[in-house]
Structure 1
């Protein structure tokens, strides 16, 4: 039950945070936003290192650092770039292909065999989200540099984000299966890995863009970091610790449904078809949980 509640909490926190981040992606580079949010989140969770003991295997620390580089450093950068080009709901819809990829990776790499019912639920979720995505075929948005001719590039960013997120989650799950590290500590180690990678990629130059935005926007950005990075990644780690990765990702995949609350603000009207397949998606999630 803790894993299920954590998944719903993580999805809610992440969805609201990315809605705020998208307003920043129109002004600043995705890599700059990702780096700043990770540095601030890392400083907030800094006390987590108190729990780091000499008995902690270096192998597990190394795996978590790689997990942070792939899942947070690369994954979140692709994610923010996708928000910039196609918007929150469409990005989250494509991201929800991750349960199928996660279930397959869990079965192939760490022998997490799911029941037939769970597989059926994951397929229902995937089909529902595909149709929800097809319903919104208007990719061109204000301030977007991508047109209908660039659909391949548009889909590349969220797909790469999915791939990186699943690989990062798989590595975290592997660490939890072979150690007693807490979600709190693993979150901080992953953030550290992402920061080292992004700073190196930037040539050790940090764009402190927060000083260029008003106090209202600064407050919203800090709230988004607390929700999307600190609370979101921490709850995600709880999910990886307590649930098989395929089931965990399926529960985390309710983000597109949550993003429908922002649809009128950000993109378009919610149609009856979207409502129907959203309900179908929840049916799939029910099969996975029960």
Structure 2
């Protein structure tokens, strides 16, 4: 009996010692990695204290979206020049949302698409800086916390397979993957499919964008139960005219989705800020 207790004590001591060595090794590795690749601001590149963060100057320059904003379109009323508050179940709804309701139920975004926020979007999307997705998704979790908590699944706006083959990754899927991990909600990466290869939206008029993404999405056969009666969060990197997410949301709604919340990192707003 005493021998068994002694063996158990030795095993416990050994486990603690091994864990301590492992922790020390990881700490040493991080210090070496920080020496070789020192943490820099994700916005301007100056040296900072930790990875995946902004320096104080870049942080202060980000136009974070805070209330009051339109509960449907997510546009801050300070920047919505057509804003007309309307009571709707205690919500604040802009005149634009009343006059032209979107296909989705609501939109939430972290920041206005300008300056540093725009640079982060472009870095992730066009410069393959996938490490930015972790920081951006963490901010998106805060912006959409209420609806992430209530949702049944998170799905990204998909790329057409030909564009995915060229780019090698989908920036919206990267954001959705981290959001699912942070929130503990199911990730639905194969539910929605882009069936039409669209032109790049950059440079197109609002009508051109709508025509470009018309009938661009469908539900993958066999995945209908993931949509019907479900509250879904549709993830994209930036919202401009809303043509892409509106087209995707319309398909989800036709498939029986109970709610579709669009969650993006940046929201483009015309006019001065």
**Structure with a larger share of its residues in helix:** 1
Would you say same fold, with TM above 0.5?
no
**Structure with a larger share of its residues in strand:** 2
Q: TM-score, normalised by structure 1?
A: 0.27
Q: TM-score, normalised by structure 2?
A: 0.28
Relative contact order, higher structure (CA 8 A, sep 6+): 1
Q: Which has the larger radius of gyration?
A: 2
